[in-house]
């Protein structure tokens, strides 16, 4: 379909993708950086500031899980926009819905850090946090599947590449759903698992293997 369009129309549409990328990069960057405002400094009433800083470990864990989650969401988002040839009105709105859940993440992160040692509140915080992570992953998958369905991706990608990204996005959805269930019962374990998922998504096992293989070949 793209080939038959006049050249100028293509330029206009690629420009639309550029602003979608710019807004997304802005919101990813701000959400990731605003997290730091939750890291508060204990007052120096006593001498053991070091101890008090160490006692704030739930804040640091929440910070790191959220940063890693935003980081991996950005990585997946940037892979999607590389395949994107153009955007349409619905894709832009699905992307805004994704950005809504990215920009709101500092709120459950703050909640998690605050409530992590309180039994009743902890369960609520961990569940809200998990639902937010699920929504981010879910809307990334929706944006990707919508783009495939509407053929907004470039044609020159191999089927293998497209399938690889699809098989990468969908399992993380299932794992978040499972961990939300675990969190209702054992909130502490759920936090550890969210950290594990973030690390697993962050470390590029697949790429390391592929690089090693292509290196051996050449």
Site for its own copies in 118-137 (CB under 8 A): 118, 120-121, 124
Radius of gyration in angstroms for the set of CA atoms belonging to the chain, rounded to a whole number: 20
Q: Does 209 bind its own copies (CB under 8 A)?
A: no
Q: Which of 12, 151, 163, 186 binds its own copies (CB under 8 A)?
A: 12
Site for its own copies in 83-112 (CB under 8 A): 83, 88-90, 92-93, 96, 99-100, 103-104, 106-107, 110-111
Q: Which residue has the tokens 């919101």?
A: 27
Q: Does 168 bind its own copies (CB under 8 A)?
A: no
Q: DSSP letters of 166-200?
A: HHHHHHHHHHHHHHHHHHHH-HHHHHHHHHHHHHH
Say which DSSP state 40 is in.
Answer: P
Q: Does 115 bind its own copies (CB under 8 A)?
A: yes
User: Positive or negative CA dihedral for 205, 208, 212, 213?
Assistant: positive
144: how many CB neighbours lie within 10 A of its CB? 24
Site for its own copies in 46-85 (CB under 8 A): 47-50, 53, 63, 67, 71, 74-75, 78, 81-83
The Cα–Cα gap between 156 and 126 comes to 42
Q: Which residues of 45-65 are buried (b: 16+ CB within 10 A; e: fewer)?
A: eeeeeeeeeeeeebbebbbeb
In angstroms, what is the minimal distance from the CB of 195 to its own copies? 14
> Which residue lies nearer to its own copies by CB, 41 or 160?
41
Which residues bind to its own copies, rule: CB under 8 A?
6, 8-9, 12, 15-16, 19-23, 25-37, 39, 41, 44, 47-50, 53, 63, 67, 71, 74-75, 78, 81-83, 88-90, 92-93, 96, 99-100, 103-104, 106-107, 110-111, 114-115, 118, 120-121, 124, 154, 156, 202-204, 206-208, 211
């Amino acid at each position: 379909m793209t080939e038959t369009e006049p050249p100028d129309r293509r330029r206009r549409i690629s420009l639309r993708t550029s602003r979608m990328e710019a807004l997304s990069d802005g919101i990813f960057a701000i959400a990731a950086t605003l997290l730091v405002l939750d890291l508060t400094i204990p007052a120096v009433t006593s001498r053991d500031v070091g101890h008090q800083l160490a006692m704030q470990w739930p804040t640091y864990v929440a910070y790191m899980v959220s940063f890693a989650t935003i980081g991996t969401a950005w990585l997946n988002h940037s892979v999607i926009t590389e395949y994107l040839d153009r955007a349409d009105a619905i894709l832009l709105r699905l992307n805004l819905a994704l950005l809504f859940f990215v920009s709101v993440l500092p709120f459950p992160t703050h909640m998690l850090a605050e409530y992590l040692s309180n039994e009743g509140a902890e369960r609520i915080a961990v569940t809200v946090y998990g639902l937010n992570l699920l929504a981010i992953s879910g809307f990334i998958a929706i944006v990707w599947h919508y783009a495939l369905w509407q053929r907004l991706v470039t044609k020159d990608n191999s089927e293998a590449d497209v399938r690889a990204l699809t098989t990468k996005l969908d399992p993380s959805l299932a794992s978040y759903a499972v961990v939300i269930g675990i969190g209702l019962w054992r909130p502490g374990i759920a936090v550890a698992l969210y950290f594990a998922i973030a690390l697993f998504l962050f470390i590029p096992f697949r790429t390391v293997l592929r690089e090693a293989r292509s290196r051996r070949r050449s």
